[in-house]
Amino acid sequence: MIRQLNAFYTDKEVLKGINIDILSNSVTAIIGPSGCGKSTFIRSLNRINDLIPGFRITGEVIYRDKNIYDKDVDVDDLRRRIGMVFQKPNPFPKSIYENIAYGLRIYGINEKQKLDEAVESSLKKAALWDEVKDNLNRNALTLSGGQQQRLCIARALATEPDVLLLDEPCSATDPISTAKIEELIYQLKQNYTIVIVTHNMQQAARVSDQAGFFMLGELIEFGKTEDIFKAPKDKRTEDYITGRFG
Amino acid sequence: MLSNKRFVLKFKEFLIEKLLFLCSLLSVFTTIGIILVLSFESIKFFKEVPITKFLTDTQWTPLFINKHFGILPLLCGTFLTTLIAISVAVPVGLISAIYLSEYASWRIRNIVKPLTEILAAVPTVVYGYFALLFLTPLLKKIIPSLSGFNALSSGIVMGIMIIPMVSSLSEDAMRAVPMGLREGAYAVGSSRLQVSLRVVLPAASSGITAALILAISRAIGETMIVAIAAGQQPRLTLNPLVPIETITAYIVQVSLGDTPHGTLEYRTIFVCGMTLFLLTFILNIFSYKLKKRFQEIYE
Amino acid sequence: MNRRIINRRLDKAFKILGIASTVFGLLVLVVLFVNVFLEGRSRLTWDFFSSFPSRKPELAGILSALVGTIWLMVITGLVAIPLGIGAGIYLEEYAKKNRLTNFIEINIANLAGVPSIIYGLLGLGIFVRYLKLDRSILAGGFTLALLVLPVIILSTREALRAIPFSIREASYALGATKWQTVRYQLLPASLGNIMTGIILAMSRAVGETAPLITIGALTYIAFLPQNPITFLEKFPFIHFTLRGLLDPFTALPIQIFNWVSRPQKGFSTNAAAGIIVLLGLTLAMNAVAIILRHRYQKKIRW
């Protein structure tokens, strides 16, 4: 699915010839020390990096038999199908309801009934429904950090994407919320292809089916999560996993 | 590849972007318009009056029978009022900026700042009234030889008007100075005043200079105060007690009369406008560049 | 030891000087207000608001000036607000960092500092003469619109810049287009700050005198511009016209200037009374802007 991906920030190479096949309906974890390019990598998969001035990319990301970096790709439509959740929760300064309805509204769906259904089902999928169902008009910024992050997941699910990119979704949440989100990832796997970046080794081991280890912009090792954690082939992977550097 | 609906959406996006681009181009057209209008009439003016005369003649009497077209007296008037204004605004504004940035608590600053902004919001015609009908009579009690119209009181009032500009822009510059610099100085036992004057002020100097230049530009272009209180007598003097005339006040004077369109007198206001535009343009650009450089250092 | 004490005393002295400098301007403001109020309050009667200018100071009023100012503000706002916000959005959200953008930015910074009287000459050359709008409300409104445009552009940009980048990311990640992001997320979130900037810009326009004098706004106007809406007794009962836009006008600051420059005592009283009205108007606008800014800062914390 991903071939020879190189990425640059103003001529500084941050990703070097990455090749990964991401399987559908599974969780792929990307691990590695900070600054290894894992965030850049995941942000390249829905072209959100295009927003950063000076960002340049070569190589191919094949999604549905098509390179997403081709000239004739409808980027906005692509991002709708490949949902993303960011490191820090970033709800819009609006009500919970409007946060989730937004993705549908911009696609021209404004019927109240459809929106109501989408809001309810996405919040349920994100395991937030029970906590907020009585005040959907509450400003999203008043939620706790963990709730905000689950709201962001619900928001990403509302547009019915088939891929979900999670960029360190638990880096700013408390342990209980983290557990909830991990549980959620496990649930969502049945219907979505999930890529998650994390710096938390245990988390990667818990939630993912396959894992890739990045270092200094290179993909050092990629394989089944079990294999990576139990029998790493590369010395560097082993060192990192056993906590010799981080 | 795109469905019909997507195509319409994309086309709308394209149109909106072009429309917004046009909005931002309007500012360029404004500048072009200013330059065209001013040069169009100025060129006609210089066909009749040689530029050397314009720059060297020491009299400006376009409205008299014996016409002279020397810009020097008007420039001199502008220079004089600006000088007075700056000598009021700079010390007061700077000291106030140091106080607000280095001494005052966060709460005091939050109360005082909006209040000083009021000073900048008062229409200039009101300041003109104040200069002519309040300050001049007051100053006359101290300086009996003061004329009813003079550069002194209009300059002082103009200075008061630009205090908020000097103080708030300088304060912004000082607050951009990183805390680390101050902490270093405090750590070796400097007093607040020493830190302010020896560390913060030099570090913020280019930002402050940018603010001061902008203030000078503002004073040069200020119109109503001098049109009301400084008089309408162009003269080559630095005496602040007698009536003078600034470039801006002259434009007002002609605009009030019925000078027919297309005459040489009519064109004089565009020549004056051109002079004014060039002066302020140079100052504004200089200030902008200084400020940009200052921002680059501390970002 | 001695050095220490001297330093501390100097520090104290400077602090007092600082407070004095900061308060100085405010004191002048108070003196100005009191002076104007004492001078002008006797003229603040209903007649003053409902009369036209007159050669006799005690009969003169500000009716035409007030109506002219309102017309001007409407035109200025209609032109400058959409154009200014549009330009601000373009420069902050769309423009790529290139030489043209850089040029436009320097240009706006310069325009913000061009003396207002130059805008008057521009208006005289373009609107009054070239477009033959004459000394009309339209010419005056357009001139003031160009004058306040840079202020609105700059405050729009600042307001947009205050929104965290993560909000843009969130919107784009959901498949929103640029305009959708601007329209549904960025504008609503920055509306308070943009409104503050607009009100401040308009309050500046209310008090502008020099450019209006330069385009030749007459000072003695004893009639009002034609009303846009008149009610008729016969069908269609309502008559709508914009002919009034081409009528000559006067405005409050011009009227004040006119009165200030007359030697008779009565007129300076009128000027003071006019100033009270003008100051009331600008200060009220500023107060609204400050309150608005304060409320929005409280409401949204990222």
Rg of the Cα atoms in chain B: 24
pLDDT at B32: 95
Q: pLDDT band at residue C86, thresholds of 50, 70 and 90?
A: very high
- State the pairing for strand pair A163-167/A210-215: unpaired
CA closest to A75 among chain B residues? B10
Sequence letter at residue B31: T
B281–C121 C-beta distance less than 8 A: no
The phi, psi pair for A223, rounded to 5°, reads: 180, -165
Residue to mutate among C96, C168, C174, C178, with most A CBs inside 10 A, is: C174
Please tell me the pTM assigned to this model.
0.89
H-state helical runs in C97-247: 99-113, 116-123, 137-161, 165-173, 178-180, 187-207, 210-214
Token look-up 């200037």 returns: C257
Chain B: closest CA distance from residue A12 (Å): 21
- B94-98 average pLDDT score: 94
A7: which 2 tokens?
């990425």
- A199-206 average pLDDT score: 86
Q: pLDDT band at residue C219, thresholds of 50, 70 and 90?
A: low
Residue to mutate among A92, A95, A105, with most C CBs inside 10 A, is: A92
- A19-23 average pLDDT score: 83
- B36-60 average pLDDT score: 90
A74–B10 C-beta distance less than 8 A: yes
Q: How far apart are the first and last CA of chain C?
A: 49
DSSP bridge pairs for A61: A2
Query: Each residue of B238-272: pLDDT tens digit?
Result: 889 999 999 999 999 998 887 778 888 889 999 99
CB neighbours (10 Å) of residue C102?
A: 11
pLDDT reading at C240 higher than 80 = no
pLDDT reading at A3 higher than 70 = no
Chains that touch B (3 or more CB pairs under 8 A): A, C
Residue to mutate among A10, A47, A76, with most C CBs inside 10 A, is: A76
Query: Each residue of C88-139: pLDDT tens digit?
Result: 999 999 998 888 899 999 999 999 999 999 999 999 999 988 888 888 889 9
C188–A94 C-beta distance less than 8 A: yes
A76–C177 C-beta distance less than 8 A: yes
Chain C: closest CA distance from residue A233 (Å): 36
Q: What angle do CA B136, B141, B147 make, to 5 degrees?
A: 45
**A70 touching chain B per CB within 8 A:** no
DSSP bridge pairs for A224: A210
Instruction: Report the alpha-carbon distance of residue C249 to residue B79 in Å, rounded.
Output: 34
B284–C110 C-beta distance less than 8 A: yes
- C61-81 average pLDDT score: 91
Instruction: Report the alpha-carbon distance of residue B261 to residue B68 in Å, rounded.
Output: 20
- A125-139 average pLDDT score: 89
C282–B121 C-beta distance less than 8 A: yes
- C51-62 average pLDDT score: 79
Give me chain B's average pLDDT, please: 90
C173–A79 C-beta distance less than 8 A: yes
Instruction: Report the alpha-carbon distance of residue C74 to residue C68 in Å, rounded.
Output: 10
C175–A105 C-beta distance less than 8 A: no
Chain C: closest CA distance from residue A15 (Å): 21
pLDDT reading at C249 higher than 90 = no
pLDDT at B58: 82
Residue to mutate among A64, A77, A80, with most B CBs inside 10 A, is: A77
Token look-up 């891929």 returns: A163
User: Does the ipTM surpass 0.95?
Assistant: no
C117–B248 C-beta distance less than 8 A: yes
B185: which 2 tokens?
């100085």
Rg of the Cα atoms in chain A: 18
- B132-156 average pLDDT score: 93
pLDDT at B235: 86
**Would you tell me which residues 25-64 of chain C have a C-beta closer than 8 angstroms to some C-beta of chain B?**
25-26, 28-29, 31-32, 35-36, 39
A108–B2 C-beta distance less than 8 A: no
CA closest to A76 among chain C residues? C175
A51–C172 C-beta distance less than 8 A: yes
- A131-151 average pLDDT score: 90
B24–C90 C-beta distance less than 8 A: yes
Instruction: Report the alpha-carbon distance of residue C58 to residue C56 in Å, rounded.
Output: 6
CA closest to B13 among chain A residues? A76
pLDDT at B1: 45
**CB neighbours of A24 closer than 8 A, spacing ≥ 6?**
A162, A193
Domain boundaries, chain B: 82-230+279-297
pLDDT at C1: 56
* CATH code of the domain in which A134 resides: 3.40.50.300
> Where is B112: in which H helix or E strand?
helix B106-121
Chain A: closest CA distance from residue C108 (Å): 23
The dihedral sign for the CA sequence C109, C113, C114, C119? positive
B214–C113 C-beta distance less than 8 A: yes
pLDDT at A5: 60
Chain A: closest CA distance from residue B7 (Å): 10
C175–A106 C-beta distance less than 8 A: yes
The DSSP call for residue B69 is B
| Nearest Cβ partner for C122 among B33, B261, B287 | B33
CA closest to C104 among chain B residues? B28
**B2 touching chain A per CB within 8 A:** yes
Selected residue with higher pLDDT from C15 and C55? C15
- State the pairing for strand pair A193-197/A12-20: unpaired
pLDDT reading at C152 higher than 50 = yes
Query: Each residue of A50-90: pLDDT tens digit?
Result: 888 888 888 888 888 788 888 888 888 889 889 999 998 99
Q: pLDDT band at residue A246, thresholds of 50, 70 and 90?
A: very low
Size of interface A-B (CB pairs under 8 A): 7
CB neighbours (10 Å) of residue B47?
A: 10
pLDDT at B161: 93
Query: Each residue of B231-244: pLDDT tens digit?
Result: 888 888 888 999 99
Q: pLDDT band at residue C301, thresholds of 50, 70 and 90?
A: low
**CB neighbours of C178 closer than 8 A, spacing ≥ 6?**
B13, B17, C93, C94
Q: pLDDT band at residue B44, thresholds of 50, 70 and 90?
A: very high
pLDDT reading at A174 higher than 90 = no
Chains that touch A (3 or more CB pairs under 8 A): B, C
**Would you tell me which residues 172-211 of chain C have a C-beta closer than 8 angstroms to some C-beta of chain A?**
172-177, 180, 184-185, 188-189
Judge whether A234 and A79 are in contact, CB under 8 Å.
no
Quote the number of domains for chain A.
1
- B75-84 average pLDDT score: 95
Instruction: Report the alpha-carbon distance of residue B144 to residue B135 in Å, rounded.
Output: 13
Residue A101's domain spans which residues? 2-241
In angstroms, the Cα distances linking B17 to C2, C93, C181 are 68, 10, 13
A77–B5 C-beta distance less than 8 A: no
pLDDT at A86: 92
pLDDT reading at B280 higher than 90 = yes
Query: Each residue of B214-231: pLDDT tens digit?
Result: 999 999 999 999 999 998
Collect all residues of chain B within an 8 Å Cβ-Cβ radius of residue C290.
114, 117
Give me chain A's average pLDDT, please: 86
pLDDT at C299: 60
A77–B1 C-beta distance less than 8 A: no
A76 part of a folded domain: yes
Collect all residues of chain B within an 8 Å Cβ-Cβ radius of residue A80.
none
| Nearest Cβ partner for C104 among B17, B27, B255 | B27
**C98 touching chain A per CB within 8 A:** no
pLDDT at A84: 93
A246 part of a folded domain: no
Superfamily for the B82-230+279-297 domain: MetI-like (1.10.3720.10)
**C272 touching chain B per CB within 8 A:** yes
CB neighbours (10 Å) of residue A39?
A: 21
